[in-house]
Structure 1
Amino acid sequence: MHCTDKTKHKFQDQKGVKILVDARKGKDKEFQALFKQYWPLVRRLWQEYYVADLELDDWHQEAEIVLVRVLKGYRGGSMIKFAGFYKQSLINRLLDLYRARQACKRIPASQLSSLGDEDANLLVDGHHDRPEDIVYCQKCLAAFMQRCSNFERQVIILLHQGASIAEIEEKLGCDERKIRSALTRSRRKLIAELRQKY
């Protein structure tokens, strides 16, 4: 990198850190400027991580709340690290919202009844699946695994076999961050594959 490029980058980072500090102090103008800077990221994550009934306007508000929390919790002095911290916090919030919506769909225990013998047989017998559904799933999985890198495939296979993150770390000789990054990339690839029309 050329010397003038380094100076320019350093200046931009210092300017960004100043906005960050002012936004942390509660200055609305700086907060909005900071949020506007990350809006493309906020919108992209909303598109990648589908959460039922989560409108973009609602996600906008959620992302602002996450930014307030991140500003309070972040103690570093680098905009690059701050961006990574904010991104991960946004992903965590999306996953929380997804889990909350899934929990709402669960049937209350009072409305559950035991299965009869006939119902139990239907659940055990896989032949009741429609052939076209089985073919579709197999095609999606095959295409998804081709999209993944060798490392991503190893992580997915071990996770599918019931290994914990710690066990995968030990088996593959890498840190948790690398494994979680691989899972995030894999999730995106799977979503992209499922959106394809066969």
Structure 2
Amino acid sequence: MIKNHSADLELLIQAQVGNEDKFMALFDCYSSLVKRLWQKFYIADLEFEDWDQEAQLVLLKVIYSYSGKDIHQFSGFYKQSLVNRLLDLYRARQADKRIPVEQLDSLGENDSETILGGKILLEDIVYCHKSIEEIIRVSSSFERDVLALTVTGKSVEYVCRKLQCSKRQVQSALSRTRTKLIKILAGE
């Protein structure tokens, strides 16, 4: 974070006039903040490299909209802008999960049999097995290990201990696997 006030204010001024090197130097001053916020606000499918680019875009907007001369105010403004961007990304991902009302349909007679465990078709069983084989084939060894533990009911904390990794790594692996499975089920 910002330590030398006059030098950092000079970085800000130089970045405002379009100096790319000074912009990157200013961004580097906030690298720990950017990483800390990414870790604090978990968003599925948001890799750190993507967040890093988002943070640079936010910094660019903040630089051009900030008219003050106090580096502390600027730092607070940038931090709040980053939090706002994370919340926007989260809301956008949540909105993508909603099914539009016009695509919803009421259940028919045959649907109730399926839901209540009526007829199980051999084709459905084969399709499930093929989908499982495909997700195993396209997943990395780490993703397979995480998946194997979680489908047996193990908690994320247990998986972290067992595989000696962070919670973020487990959540990212599950998110990637979920995305792959959705594509498999969609026939992509």
CA distance in 1: counterparts of 2:107 and 2:57, whole angstroms: 44
1:18 matched residue in structure 2: 10
1:104 matched residue in structure 2: 96
CA distance in 2: counterparts of 1:42 and 1:96, whole angstroms: 16
Letter in 2 for 1:50: Y
* CA apart distance, 1:110: 2.3
Question: C-alpha deviations, 1:21-78, integer Å up to 9, x for none?
Answer: 0011110110010000000000000000111100000001000000000001111111
CA distance in 2: counterparts of 1:94 and 1:106, whole angstroms: 19
* CA apart distance, 1:14: 1.6
CA distance in 2: counterparts of 1:45 and 1:62, whole angstroms: 12
TM-score by structure 1 length? 0.51
2:49 matched residue in structure 1: 57
**In the alignment, which of 29, 36, 59 is matched to residue 44 of structure 1?**
36
User: Is 1:77 matched with 2:69?
Assistant: yes
* CA apart distance, 1:113: 2.8
SS in 1 for 2:30: helix
TM-score by structure 2 length? 0.54
CA distance in 1: counterparts of 2:28 and 2:92, whole angstroms: 27
CA distance in 2: counterparts of 1:36 and 1:19, whole angstroms: 11
Letter in 1 for 2:30: Y
Q: Unpaired segments of 5 or more residues in structure 1?
A: 1-8, 120-194
Q: Equivalences for 1:109-188 in 2 at 5 Å?
A: 109-114=101-106
Question: C-alpha deviations, 1:62-111, integer Å up to 9, x for none?
Answer: 00000000001111111111110000000000000000000100112222
Count matched residues: 108
Question: C-alpha deviations, 1:138-190, integer Å up to 9, x for none?
Answer: xxxxxxxxxxxxxxxxxxxxxxxxxxxxxxxxxxxxxxxxxxxxxxxxxxxxx
Distance 1:33 1:107, change over 3 A: same
Between the two structures, name the one with larger relative contact order (CA 8 Å, sep ≥ 6): 2
Q: Unpaired segments of 5 or more residues in structure 2?
A: 113-170, 172-188
SS in 2 for 1:51: coil
Letter in 2 for 1:52: A
- Identity among equivalent positions (%) equals 54
* CA apart distance, 1:112: 1.1
* CA apart distance, 1:15: 1.4
1:34 matched residue in structure 2: 26
Structure (1/2) with the larger helix percentage: 1
Letter in 2 for 1:67: L
